[in-house]
Amino acid sequence: MPTCKLCGKSFDTMTELYMHLHSECSKIPRSRRCPVCGSKYRSIRFMRHHLINEALIESKHMNYLISI
């Protein structure tokens, strides 16, 4: 059962977890600059997408999400 490492909420599928991270998890930083790589985004939404997408392929971003 996939679980959000940030808030502890469990989901039936990875798709539900992914949607939760994109839309409702309040533990992701509300900044327009990535706290891991420093990339700037024009909105908080784009920064959140970047952080989540990068976490799927890069360990630095995943380690940040797990450590919050």
10-residue stretch averages of pLDDT, the chain, 68 residues long: 82 84 74 89 87 85 74
pLDDT value at residue 39? 92
| CB-facing half-sphere around the CA of 24: CA atoms within 13 A | 9
For the chain, how long is the longest CA-to-CA vector?
34
Token pair of 13, please?
């599928």
pLDDT value at residue 38? 92
pLDDT value at residue 12? 92
Look at the block and give the residue holding tokens 């990875």.
14
